[in-house]
Amino acid sequence: MVDPAASTTASRPPAGRREPRPAAVEPCPECGALLGRGYPRCAICHAAVERYWRADWAALLAAEGIAPGSADERLLAEVVVAELERHPWTVVDYALTLLRCPECGAEWGGGPPACAACAMAFGNLWAPGLEAGATMNEHALRVGRWVARHPHRHSATVVAGWRLSLPLLLAGALPTTAEAQRINAWLKAGGDAADLAGPRTFAAIAAHARRDGAPR
């Protein structure tokens, strides 16, 4: 019988910290972009991002004595989503990736913007308490994963900004407010994110955006 509540009270490392982060921002050996930027299409970038979520989910499966890929795993995912405030963000996010939306049939929370069931699932992800103990970097990495995973739910500018940020967030960096605003303004003004493929710090990306002025 599935009893995920038992493991929520057991001592465990904070969500998303079972695997080490990359020590530096480096290119992906598979797609050549900075590691993480190819998420979710490139297999190596996908694994580089997803490993933090997967590790926490695997620990929950182990604690419950449930085999990956089993019918019980799916049942566990349903239980987690039904009582998501009792679980950390990595576990809730991962549970949704295992389930299909009852209304539109897409990955739950990732269907077309018009799907009410997906909108509700996505909205519930940001309930207070779900990210208890998370750092701002971890919150940003979480948002970046959702946006890159389901880009059709967001504007092209928003998607470009988060894709640009993912490799840096993965390595633990966080833009200052001024840097984030500068980069977003530049993208909104028509700046091509491909021009910013090289810089490996938010300061360098923002500096490029500043030098470039407002394109078009």
Q: Residues 21, 48, 183, CA angle at the centre, nearest 5°?
A: 80
Nearer CB in complex with Zn ion: 166/209: 166
Dihedral of alpha carbons 211, 187, 135, 30, sign: negative
| Least distance to Zn ion, CB of residue 10, Å | 33
Contact 34, 28 (CB under 8 A): yes
> Which CB, 15 or 118, lies closer to Zn ion?
118
Q: Is 61 helix (H, G, I), strand (E, B) or coil?
A: helix
CB of 31: closest distance to Zn ion in angstroms? 3
3 state DSSP class of 112: coil
The nearer residue to Zn ion, 115 or 169, going by C-beta atoms, is 115
Least distance between Zn ion and beta carbon 73 (Å): 21
Is the Cβ of residue 2 or residue 104 nearer to Zn ion in the bound state? 104
- Give the 3-state secondary structure of residue 79: helix
- Which residue type, as a one-letter code, is found at position 28? C
HSE-CB of 107 using CA atoms within 13 angstroms: 14
Binding region for Zn ion (CB under 5 A): 28, 30-31, 38, 42, 44-45, 101, 103-104, 111, 115, 117-118
User: Least CB distance from residue 26 to Zn ion, whole Å?
Assistant: 11
